[in-house]
Amino acid sequence: MTRGSDVADLVIVGGGTAGIIAAKTAGGLGARVVLVERDRTGGDCLWTGCVPSKSLIAAAHTAHRMRRAGRFGITPVEPRVDFAAVMAQVRHAIERIEPVDSPASLSGAGARVISGTAVFTGPDEVRVEGRPLRFRHALIATGSTPALPPVPGLTEVDPLTSDSVWDLTRLPARLAVLGGGPVGCELGQAFARLGAEVTIIEAAERLVPREEPRAAIALSATLSADGIRVLTSTTVTKAARQADGTQLELTGGDRTQTIDVDRVLVATRRRPRTDGLGLEQAGVHLDERGHVAVDAKLRTSNHRIYAAGDVTGAPAFTHVAGVHGSMAATNALLAPVRRIDHDKIPWVTFTDPEIAHVGLTEDRARRRHGDAVRVRVLRHENVDRAIVEDDTDGFTHVVLDAKGRVLGATIVAPRAGEMIAELTGLLARGGRLRDLASVIHPYPAWTDGVWNAAVIESSEALRAPVMRRLTGALLRLHRAR
């Protein structure tokens, strides 16, 4: 494309979730849209993130249920795991989803796909492998990539990351996982259940530090029951290759120890992919953490150029990247009016049990709203679904403001990812937890965890002095008739 009508309405750099949704949205509006992808469309979610990890977790869950079948009166067995076949199934899941994200699907939606690396050469131009491409608007959707911590010797021991772990052909017998965030815990538990001896090393004082402390405690207990060694407040200070694997030096508090493992999986940090993008020529600024700085409407410092997804430093989730992509496309092409409230985003850590979260944690809510914040916790020991499945350790934890409106929630349960949807809707509408009490739920479903919490909230409201006086008066009237 050159000038005039050949100038693209929207050039998208990066064909992950953010770029794909932006391209399909823009194509649907009839815009002239070009998407540039240097590797393969689909991005992290499809190739190295959500899809392979959830497929691996499904295999690991099956192995776990076989070992634990005894509690249902079925002879438990130690499964024989054919790791190559497990990984083949993982690839099969990717293949089944890939067509939706493919260049053909994008072309069908009205977007032109160019293969190559895009570099900005000015405020309204990128070059792809030397070829200029002018735009009215552009979208940076280049995602993020795993980053290694500066540990002496680490690069020499050929560490795995969430990018390369999918190339394994044999299950490592002893695996060290650096970082107890969502990647470390999901993959650490999956590898342990598939038969590896796993150690998770987390620098913070608890796993999944972004979650409610009680969720992290519950997760630690399950991982330990899975045979995983969980070391918190601990970092790796040295790595060294040995004849039969790797030795790691670990430091926690004032204690230093060494462990011997076959492979190391690093899941400590990700960094935005901005290197070599030519952002200076485009007049696009980065924030202090190196992400592309955007305003609430996803505009960068060059208002022709938007950014979406992981590269912005927003919570790194596929659903966020997708909403960003759609928002950026309509804001750029129609009018810059849509915003996203990052305080209302749900997410799920797909460990077993799942940890699902939306909104504010109790701590953040108290810092923002003060002492009026209340918490309603319903343990799942009396939820019938949990009892019949012999899985009663979880809980529903809802953070409320003074009027009983939902500010945030955390659920720990096998189906927490499904259960959180209802509280997400309530939070989005500014609703009160007790509003759910009158909504009929099917029995016996996991959603009873949320419903029972709402029913208790509602019945406690009925016992408040003012309600007591009202119901007392009605009862007296009834008896007098």
Ligand X SMILES: Cc1cc2nc3c(=O)[nH]c(=O)nc-3n(C[C@H](O)[C@H](O)[C@H](O)COP(=O)(O)OP(=O)(O)OC[C@H]3O[C@@H](n4cnc5c(N)ncnc54)[C@H](O)[C@@H]3O)c2cc1C
For binding to ligand NAD (CB under 6 A), which residues are involved?
A: 149, 178-184, 186, 201-204, 209, 235-236, 267-270, 315-317, 347-350
Residue 3: phi, psi to the nearest 5?
Answer: -110, 180
- The 269-308 contact track toward ligand X, x by CB under 6 A, reads ----x---x-------------------------------
CA nearest to 352, candidates 61, 144, 116: 61
What the block records as the tokens of 13 is 């750099």
Which of ligand NAD, ligand X, none does residue 417 bind to, with CB < 5 to 8 Å depending on kind?
A: none
Which residues face 271 on adjacent strands? 145
Question: Does residue 127 interact with ligand X by CB under 6 A?
Answer: no
Binding span for ligand X by CB under 6 A among 16-24, 88-96, 152-160, 250-258? 16-24
Amino acid 440 reads: I
Which of ligand NAD, ligand X, none does residue 37 bind to, with CB < 5 to 8 Å depending on kind?
A: ligand X
Which residues contact residue 89 at a Cβ distance below 8 angstroms, ignoring those fewer than 6 apart? 55, 59
Nearer to ligand NAD, 269 or 368 (CB): 269
Chosen residue from 10, 15, 378, 399 binding ligand X by CB under 6 A:
15
Which of ligand X, ligand NAD, none does residue 172 bind to, with CB < 5 to 8 Å depending on kind?
A: none
Instruction: Give kind and range of the element (H or E) at residue 118.
Output: strand 118-122
Chosen residue from 27, 309, 353, 449 binding ligand X by CB under 6 A:
309
- C-alpha to C-alpha distance for 224 and 221, rounded to whole angstroms: 5
- The 63-92 contact track toward ligand X, x by CB under 6 A, reads ------------------------------
Nearer to ligand X, 143 or 172 (CB): 143
Q: Tell me how far, at minimum, the Cβ of 403 lies from ligand NAD, in Å.
A: 31
Chosen residue from 8, 11, 12, 18 binding ligand X by CB under 6 A:
18
DSSP result, 386-440: HHHTT----EEEEEE-TTSBEEEEEEEETTHHHHHHHHHHHHHTT-BGGGGGGS-
Task: Considering only CA atoms, give the Rg of the chain.
Answer: 25
Which of ligand X, ligand NAD, none does residue 201 bind to, with CB < 5 to 8 Å depending on kind?
A: ligand NAD
Which residues contact residue 148 at a Cβ distance below 8 angstroms, ignoring those fewer than 6 apart? 154, 155, 159, 161, 266, 268
Nearer to ligand NAD, 143 or 336 (CB): 143
Binding span for ligand X by CB under 6 A among 10-18, 103-111, 234-242, 458-466? 10-18
**11, 328 in Cβ contact below 8 A?**
no
Nearer to ligand X, 145 or 301 (CB): 145
Question: Does residue 14 interact with ligand X by CB under 6 A?
Answer: yes
Question: Does residue 38 interact with ligand X by CB under 6 A?
Answer: yes
Which of ligand NAD, ligand X, none does residue 142 bind to, with CB < 5 to 8 Å depending on kind?
A: ligand X
- C-alpha to C-alpha distance for 8 and 200, rounded to whole angstroms: 48
CA nearest to 401, candidates 449, 448, 455, 364: 364
CA distances from 114 to 1, 37, 111 (A): 12, 6, 10
Q: Tell me how far, at minimum, the Cβ of 49 lies from ligand X, in Å.
A: 3
- C-alpha to C-alpha distance for 478 and 238, rounded to whole angstroms: 78
Q: Tell me how far, at minimum, the Cβ of 358 lies from ligand X, in Å.
A: 13
Nearer to ligand X, 46 or 453 (CB): 46
- C-alpha to C-alpha distance for 221 and 198, rounded to whole angstroms: 15
Helix 448-462 and helix 416-428, axial crossing angle in degrees, nearest 10: 40
- C-alpha to C-alpha distance for 233 and 211, rounded to whole angstroms: 16
Nearer to ligand NAD, 103 or 180 (CB): 180
Chosen residue from 25, 55, 102, 142 binding ligand X by CB under 6 A:
142
Chosen residue from 27, 32, 34, 37 binding ligand X by CB under 6 A:
37
| Longest pairwise C-alpha distance within the chain | 91
Question: Does residue 319 interact with ligand X by CB under 6 A?
Answer: yes
Q: Tell me how far, at minimum, the Cβ of 346 lies from ligand NAD, in Å.
A: 10
Nearer to ligand X, 317 or 395 (CB): 317
Amino acid 46 reads: L
Nearer to ligand X, 36 or 250 (CB): 36
Q: Which of residues 241-260 bind ligand X (CB under 6 A)?
A: none
Question: Does residue 33 interact with ligand X by CB under 6 A?
Answer: no
In whole angstroms, what separates CA 9 from the centre of its chain? 31
CA nearest to 467, candidates 455, 456, 478, 459: 459
**Interface residue list for ligand X (CB under 6 A):** 13-19, 36-39, 43-45, 49-50, 53-54, 117-118, 141-143, 162, 183, 273, 277, 309-310, 316-319, 321, 350
